[in-house]
Amino acid sequence: MDLLVVGSGFFGLTVAERAAEAGRKVMVIDRRSHIGGNAYSEAEPETGIEVHRYGAHLFHTSNATVWEYVNRFTTFTNYVHRVYTNHNSVVYPMPVNLGTINQFFSAAYSPDEARALVKEQAGEFDVKSAQNFEEKGIALVGRPLFEAFFRDYTAKQWQTDPQKLSGDIISRLPVRYTYDNRYFNDTWEGLPTDGYTAWLERMADHPNIEVKLDVDYFDETQPLNKRDTVGQLPIVYTGPVDRYFDYAEGELGWRTLDFEQEVLNVGDFQGTSVMNYPDLDVPFTRIHEFKHFHPERKEIFESDKTVIMREFSRFANRADEPYYPVNTPADRDGLLAYRELAKGEQGVHFGGRLGTYQYLDMHMAIGSALSMWRNELSGESD
């Protein structure tokens, strides 16, 4: 074995595949019973509909290197992601665009008129001097749009009053002064034709890669553990960075997600793949309806049934699956301390969303892994 990769998400599998292609013998371990991390998908047994077990994953990128790389393992559908939001029992397109604005204000504003309206409403606060998330949000889009679509949605995501959240959480809130309601602006977008799991399995399908599941890196009763491997060979670690150091510098803040999945005896529940619910009287943040991610498969799905998944957000504890870094000032101080500790870990490379405590989309994780291979690992001695 020339390289140990801890975690089989997109970051870990990208490094493993590159190393295997270069002739290295790679061991990939994961504490879950499947590969792919949070991108894992599976067919719901009753309907055959592909479900993203850990919430919707939408692939998009403007990085030509990443696009060329991922197309070695999968083709992509022409799916274009569009999101809608149900506010006060009225459905609006998101992100906020000219259609949202005109519908919300029962108007027919031109782009310039809408821009002037939002600028006037946003004058209540200044972006640079805003004291918290709410003030900054109002300074970006104005109070009416902020309160309708962002304030309570954010409160549910963070389980915190937006007035008590740092304005650093947002740098901008997208507002488009056209009727373009595509969610992403990237050059390439789509979903893997055969699903995420098939894509991930192809990445791992190499004679130089061995994958072992249900293996906890911190369980010293099994041989591929931290104590017995660090310093013995190069290691790529993609788990939570605070867990790696046994929380020596304190626990970093993470948000986690809970899901309620349900098979419904209707052909179509909401008419779209993702519907947001920004109002506080609805406990979940959004509902996914998975048959809409792959309309080209309608002939193989149960036509009179559908699968929905309600998504709930909350702060994580140690027993939870961490999803997103909270990234408070205290968290950033803790991360700096962990980065200093990481410098002392011989041959250990920290990567991925959890290992770097950064929010990384899939294409960003893949791009970062390609960079790590190229800049840090490709020349490392076996």
Catalytic residue among 124, 268, 304, 359: 359
Marked catalytic residue, from 176, 189, 237, 242:
176
Active site residue 186: no
Beta bridge partners, 237, equal 6, 350
| Residue 216 DSSP one-character state | -
Find tokens 């899939």 and name the residue. 362
Active-site hit among 24, 53, 151, 255: 255
Strands 83-87 and 90-94: antiparallel
Q: Which residues pair with 255 in a beta bridge?
A: 315, 324
Q: Using N-to-C axis directions, what is the helix angle for 196-204 and 10-21, rounded to 10°?
A: 30
Closest Cα to residue 381, out of 24, 51, 143? 24
Q: What value does the CA radius of gyration of the chain take, rounded to a whole number of Å?
A: 22
Rounded CA separation 259/72 (Å): 32
Residues facing residue 31 across a β-bridge: none
Q: Which residues contact 56 (CB under 8 A, 6 or more apart)?
A: 273, 274, 288, 293
Closest to 146 in 3D by CA, of 132, 159, 134, 163: 134
172 is catalytic: yes
As to burial, measured by CB atoms within 10 angstroms (0-12 exposed, 13-18 middle, 19+ buried), residue 103 is: middle
Which one from 68, 72, 112, 172 is the annotated catalytic residue?
172
User: In angstroms, rounded to a whole number, what is the distance separating the alpha carbons of residues 293 and 295?
Assistant: 6
Q: Which two tokens mark 56?
A: 């919707």
Q: Answer for the pair 10, 37: CB distance below 8 angstroms, yes or no.
A: yes
Catalytic annotation, pick one of 311, 338, 353, 357: 311
H helix intervals, 71-132? 98-104, 111-121
Among residues 2, 361, 376, 380, the one annotated as catalytic is 361
Question: Which residues are bridge partners to 264 per DSSP?
Answer: 306
Q: Is 72 a catalytic residue?
A: no
Per the CB < 8 A criterion, the answer to whether 298 and 291 are in contact is yes
- Whether 50 is catalytic is no
Nearest to 83 by CA among 95, 66, 70: 95
Q: Is 201 marked active-site?
A: no
Q: Which of 18, 24, 53, 286 is catalytic?
A: 286
DSSP code per residue over 166-179: -GGG-S---B-SSS
- Report, as residue numbers or ranges, the catalytic residues: 172, 176, 255, 286, 311, 359, 361
